[in-house]
Copies of this chain bind each other. A is one copy, B any other.
Amino acid sequence: MFYAVVLAGGSGTRFWPKSRRNQPKQLLDIVGTSPLIAQTLERLEGLFTRERILVITQRGQLESVRKHIDLPEGNVLAEPRSRNTAAAIGLAALEIKRRSPQGEEAVFAVLPSDHYIDDLDAFLKTLLLAKDVALKGYLVTIGIRPRYPETGYGYIELGDPLKELGYQGVYHVRRFVEKPDLATAARFVEQGNHLWNSGTFVWRVREILGALHEHLPELYAGLLEIEQAGFTPEAVAQAYETFPDLSIDYGVMEKARNCAVVVGDYGWSDVGSWSALAELLEKDEQGNVTRGEVVALDCSRSVLYSDDGLIGAIGLRDLVVVLSGGAVLVCPRERAQDVRKLVERLKQLGKDEYL
């Protein structure tokens, strides 16, 4: 049995001013015409029944998330607080173990709720291949062939092919590499033996719980308590107080020995910043991406996005301008990642009406 777990707990400050506390990236229609989470779920329909799809979000976002999805009520799990991906995946593993007739033998995929995928067929085929590999006992991650030296992604260095399985594009993992600098990223792309870490995983309940037990024993102990208490909200809340704030990559994958990577080639992006829209949306002849009410004179390679009034732009190069919710963001495309810092500053200044 194959389950899907969609992680929708991110607070997503990189799309400010459109993303806000209760309107994180996964709820925005920045790419396409529906919220990213709705697109993610739609994508899964070909492979999973609605009953086998779980969404994990934060308590504060539960209502907003529900508005955009059509799943059985019990399939949307709200974490009492945000504790990064290791905790969310542990909780999901428990839940699937409980639900599935196969128990620990059930396989599940973990998918971010806010990524872009172009080629649906290729994506689903990759998931099925990853499932097969997971059934051999591997912790499977999906790696994307890098198209350029992106410094905003983690990388996976390929080990030997997993030839014994007879599949193309399946490898042992030599190591996980955190976001590199530009020179390193360029070398990775040139060498051809590194993939982008897409944050998409497939494994059996058994293997991931085993890995949590081995590498994050404290977290695992908390999960056991939740299970023994019969999944009461109180037990979940209590356990979350003790859970470490760790990603599954850092907490488990970098340490585990039974990792495998499946090469995904389906036009993927994590839609990591406003600048990424320039790669994903249709451009005009000058390379601008515009959305909403925009009048641009002599602009090129810029992202001009408005859902709250008119943007009048003259002579801009590689700039991001976003007008939304009574605020405007202006920054060079290469600084688009620093929008988080701006949001941090807004917090310090107590500008709550813009957060």
Binding site for B on A (CB under 8 A): 16-17, 293, 295, 297-298, 308-316, 319, 321, 323, 326-332, 334-335, 338-339, 341-342, 345-346, 349, 351, 354
Nearest residue in B to A306 (C-beta to C-beta)? B328
Contact for A312 among B311, B312, B328, CB less than 8 A: B328
User: Distance in Å from the Cβ of A3 to the closest Cβ of chain B?
Assistant: 40
Pairs A–B under 8 Å by Cβ, sample size 12: A295-B342, A297-B338, A309-B328, A310-B328, A313-B329, A314-B330, A314-B338, A315-B332, A316-B331, A316-B332, A328-B328, A330-B330
Residues of the B chain whose Cβ atoms lie less than 8 Å from the Cβ of A335: 298, 314-315
B309→A330 contact, CB < 8 A: no
A341→B327 contact, CB < 8 A: no
In whole angstroms, how far apart are the Cα atoms of A314 and B333 in the complex? 10
Residues of the B chain whose Cβ atoms lie less than 8 Å from the Cβ of A298: 335
B330→A316 contact, CB < 8 A: yes
Residues of the B chain whose Cβ atoms lie less than 8 Å from the Cβ of A339: 312, 314
A342→B330 contact, CB < 8 A: no
Nearest residue in B to A351 (C-beta to C-beta)? B310
B327→A312 contact, CB < 8 A: yes
Secondary structure dominating the interface of A: mixed
Nearest residue in B to A349 (C-beta to C-beta)? B295
Nearest residue in B to A293 (C-beta to C-beta)? B351
Residues of the B chain whose Cβ atoms lie less than 8 Å from the Cβ of A330: 311-314, 316, 319, 321, 330
In whole angstroms, how far apart are the Cα atoms of A339 and B298 in the complex? 12
- Most chain B C-beta atoms within 10 Å of own C-beta, residue among A298, A321, A327, A339: A327
B295→A351 contact, CB < 8 A: yes
Number of copies: 2
- Most chain B C-beta atoms within 10 Å of own C-beta, residue among A298, A311, A312, A316: A312
Nearest residue in B to A321 (C-beta to C-beta)? B330
In whole angstroms, how far apart are the Cα atoms of A332 and B327 in the complex? 20
A341→B328 contact, CB < 8 A: no
User: Distance in Å from the Cβ of A329 to the closest Cβ of chain B?
Assistant: 5
Given known contacts A338-B314, A342-B297, A326 and B309 CB-to-CB distance under 8 angstroms? yes
Given known contacts A17-B312, A295-B345, A295-B349, A328 and B338 CB-to-CB distance under 8 angstroms? no
In whole angstroms, how far apart are the Cα atoms of A252 and B167 in the complex? 88
In whole angstroms, how far apart are the Cα atoms of A293 and B351 in the complex? 10
Residues of the B chain whose Cβ atoms lie less than 8 Å from the Cβ of A312: 16-17, 327-330, 339, 342, 346, 354
In whole angstroms, how far apart are the Cα atoms of A341 and B338 in the complex? 32
Contact for A328 among B16, B311, B332, CB less than 8 A: B311
User: Distance in Å from the Cβ of A280 to the closest Cβ of chain B?
Assistant: 21
In whole angstroms, how far apart are the Cα atoms of A269 and B342 in the complex? 35
User: Distance in Å from the Cβ of A22 to the closest Cβ of chain B?
Assistant: 18
Residues of the B chain whose Cβ atoms lie less than 8 Å from the Cβ of A315: 331-332, 334-335, 338
In whole angstroms, how far apart are the Cα atoms of A53 and B327 in the complex? 42
- Most chain B C-beta atoms within 10 Å of own C-beta, residue among A298, A328, A332, A345: A328
Residues of the B chain whose Cβ atoms lie less than 8 Å from the Cβ of A314: 329-332, 335, 338-339, 341-342
In whole angstroms, how far apart are the Cα atoms of A345 and B294 in the complex? 11
Nearest residue in B to A311 (C-beta to C-beta)? B328
Residues of the B chain whose Cβ atoms lie less than 8 Å from the Cβ of A334: 315
User: Distance in Å from the Cβ of A326 to the closest Cβ of chain B?
Assistant: 4
